[in-house]
A and B are shown apart, each in its own frame.
Chain A
Amino acid sequence: MSRINDEEVRKALDKKAAYGADIDMGRYDEGEKDVEQIEDLSDTPDDIQKKMINVGVNTDDSDKDGTILFINNAMSHCSNRAQEGLIIMSTQKALEKYSWARDYYWKAVDPVKDKYTAKTYEERSDGYFIYVKPGYHLKFPVQTCMMLEQNKSVQNLHNIIVVDDDASCDMITGCTTIHGANDALHVGVSEMYIGENSSLSFTMIHSWNRETAVRPRTNIMMKKNSRYVNNYVLLDPVGTIQSFPTAYLDGEGASCSFNTMCIAHENSNIDTGGCAMLNAPNTGAEILSRNITYGGKMIARGRLIGNAPGVKAHLECKSIILKDGGVTQAIPELEASCADVEMTHEAAVGKIARDQIEYLMSRGLTEDEAVSMIVRGFLVGGIKGLPANLQKDIDAAIDKASEGS
């Protein structure tokens, strides 16, 4: 990326985003930077703990290599159990401590992209910084929790994840509101860099409130033979969320997969998806999106861009509509600038076939149970290898949602 022009960034402060409703950022106060410090994770207050678990982040971190908790705009807890191979701290601290950290600062995401990135740049927002050294394969996942506590505020975060060459890392990140924060805005810029022969698996679980606005901005830079897996789960009501993470497969043989699972409740406005820029030979991508609409607005996007020979990619957007009233849209896009590519897509929107429901009912399941079972299978089928405790949350959320319908 060329040098950042501060003047241009300033101009971008009111630049509308390409997708999603425009948000008046002036409505929100700045999020606090002075937050309670939790030294020992087991001392986490009960209410916070409960919320963390709800988004897949565990205060029993015996099977985690690192844990970070952010509350509003500052870090509240940071621990590193892997030590040797892993650097984990806040982004601003990393920038102070390591001159090389600058090589990853605003190098994947352009601050002038839209008002949200520009604001994050202007604020010099903090976030988590995770660096896995070359040759290290983290044994356990690193978990991060971003908690939004202050109503009418904006939580502005800037995260950086670097998995250097021949290394691997699994991450679980949960973002959620607490203490009545509802009408608030979460902006999260995430820049990810995956080295040669390295892999990063990134599972993100969101649980917001009925009026919360959410604008993540994520790009992933991928080198030769690297692998990226992105799982995104959104089961609870939200005001508006718009996100379109983009992977740049710049190294030969790199591959990525995006798996998205959303429930659009009444009054929720969800616009999610993923984009893969297949810029190098023999790169591959799979984008899978499985969604349920209970009267909300659901847009599932997927974009594959094939710019090199030997590219193989598949895109699948499927939505089940369980309640009238909302809007469900599947927008698959394929684009190629090269003849030797194989890119396919599949999209489907509709209700569950009646004969399937009745078939299960003839085995003694009630109609609701039959619908839940099919919905659960449909959603979960889109994401492979989810943490076991998350599976339970998904079941509970689906049951809750079907009761409400």
Chain B
Amino acid sequence: MSLLEIKDLHVEAGGREILKGVTLSLEEGETCVLFGPNGSGKSTLLSTIMGYGQTSVTSGKIIFKGTDITNMSVDRRAKLGIGMMMQRPPNVIGVKLGELVKVTAANGKGTTGHEKEFKMQDFMERDVNVGFSGGEIKRSELLQLSAQSPDFVMLDEPESGVDIENIGLIGKKVHELIRGTDDGRKNVSAFVITHTGQIMDYIGADKAFVLIHGRIAREGDPAAILDDIKQNGYGVDDE
């Protein structure tokens, strides 16, 4: 049984069909990357798996750990072991990052007290995401995920907007999220959106999908697919 199975998923957002029949599966312990041009529906796919309400499933199914989660609430999905780093998380005025990390750890399987490792010690008393820079948002999301410690982690462009010095930190922390601190102890599955493939240098990847115009156009070896995209592009005209 696959950890995650998506069957002919059709999703609408803002009155428009964004995902037009996505079918894919992801095995336990597998790290998959998702490529695709801007606007192809990558973030929409991850948001739909998490259950965020801006999207609505018109048909198809999402099965996680053998359970149909298509209509499940966001928090129940989180309790089942799904965690996500959003591309653009919302500002939450009035909620301190430290407070959120604490309740996240209480509800999840991770621990608190790691803010220094993420260089976030000066942000714990600040409102979540309010005024955070692009790189700070990534580190904050990863800190929260470390407190949550999900079995299946979705990362929406973890390396984008991160400077050369911090990319190593992000890579290391994503690696720890998936494999644990002493290598091999953890075997978390991951679904990672990336444009450059840079994050693959830190976590490797078992499988790649290419999403174009809301459909999986290709699936296969991540390195080979990335090379091909780099050389030939996505081979689609802008609609």
- Genuine A/B complex: yes
Query: Which residues on A are within 8 Å of B, measured CB to CB?
Result: 353-356, 358-367, 369-370, 373-374, 376-381
Would A364 and B75 be within 8 Å (CB), given that A354-B53, A373-B95, A373-B99 are in contact?
Answer: yes
Contact between B79 and A353, CB atoms less than 8 A apart: no
Contact between B53 and A364, CB atoms less than 8 A apart: no
| Complex alpha-carbon distance, A356 and B90, angstroms | 6
Would A365 and B94 be within 8 Å (CB), given that A358-B53, A359-B89 are in contact?
Answer: no
Query: Which residues on B are within 8 Å of A, measured CB to CB?
Result: 50-54, 73-75, 77-79, 82-84, 86, 89-96, 99-100, 103-104, 107-108, 127, 144, 147-148
Would A353 and B95 be within 8 Å (CB), given that A358-B52, A358-B53, A363-B78 are in contact?
Answer: no
If A364-B107, A373-B99 are given as contacts, then 13 extra A-B residue pairs at C-beta distance below 8 Å, sorted by A number, are A354-B53, A355-B90, A356-B90, A358-B52, A358-B53, A362-B51, A363-B103, A364-B79, A364-B148, A373-B100, A377-B94, A377-B99, A379-B94
Secondary structure at the B interface, as helix, strand, loop or mixed, is mixed
Would A362 and B84 be within 8 Å (CB), given that A377-B95, A378-B93, A381-B93 are in contact?
Answer: yes
Would A363 and B54 be within 8 Å (CB), given that A355-B90, A378-B93, A381-B93 are in contact?
Answer: no
Q: Which of A362, A369, A379 contacts B74 (CB under 8 A)?
A: A362
Contact between A364 and B94, CB atoms less than 8 A apart: no
| Complex alpha-carbon distance, A377 and B127, angstroms | 9
Secondary structure at the A interface, as helix, strand, loop or mixed, is helix
Contact between B78 and A376, CB atoms less than 8 A apart: no
Closest CB-CB distance, A249 to chain B, in whole Å?
30
| Complex alpha-carbon distance, A355 and B47, angstroms | 11
Kindly list chain A residues whose C-beta atoms are within 8 Å of the C-beta of B90: 353, 355-356, 359
8 closest cross-chain pairs (CB), A and B: A377-B94, A364-B107, A361-B74, A361-B75, A363-B104, A364-B78, A378-B94, A355-B90
Please name 9 pairs of A and B residues whose Cβ atoms are closer than 8 Å in the assembled complex, sorted by A: A355-B52, A356-B90, A356-B92, A362-B82, A363-B147, A365-B107, A367-B73, A370-B75, A380-B94
Contact between A364 and B52, CB atoms less than 8 A apart: no
Kindly list chain A residues whose C-beta atoms are within 8 Å of the C-beta of B82: 362
Contact between B75 and A365, CB atoms less than 8 A apart: yes
| Complex alpha-carbon distance, A361 and B79, angstroms | 10
Contact between A381 and B94, CB atoms less than 8 A apart: yes
Q: Which of A358, A363, A366, A378 contacts B100 (CB under 8 A)?
A: A363
Contact between A364 and B108, CB atoms less than 8 A apart: yes
Kindly list chain B residues whose C-beta atoms are within 8 Å of the C-beta of A354: 53-54
Q: Which of A365, A378, A381 contacts B103 (CB under 8 A)?
A: A365
Nearest residue in A to B129 (C-beta to C-beta)?
A359
Closest CB-CB distance, B45 to chain A, in whole Å?
15
Contact between B144 and A363, CB atoms less than 8 A apart: yes
Nearest residue in A to B109 (C-beta to C-beta)?
A364
Kindly list chain B residues whose C-beta atoms are within 8 Å of the C-beta of A359: 86, 89-90, 92
Closest CB-CB distance, B48 to chain A, in whole Å?
12
Contact between A361 and B73, CB atoms less than 8 A apart: yes
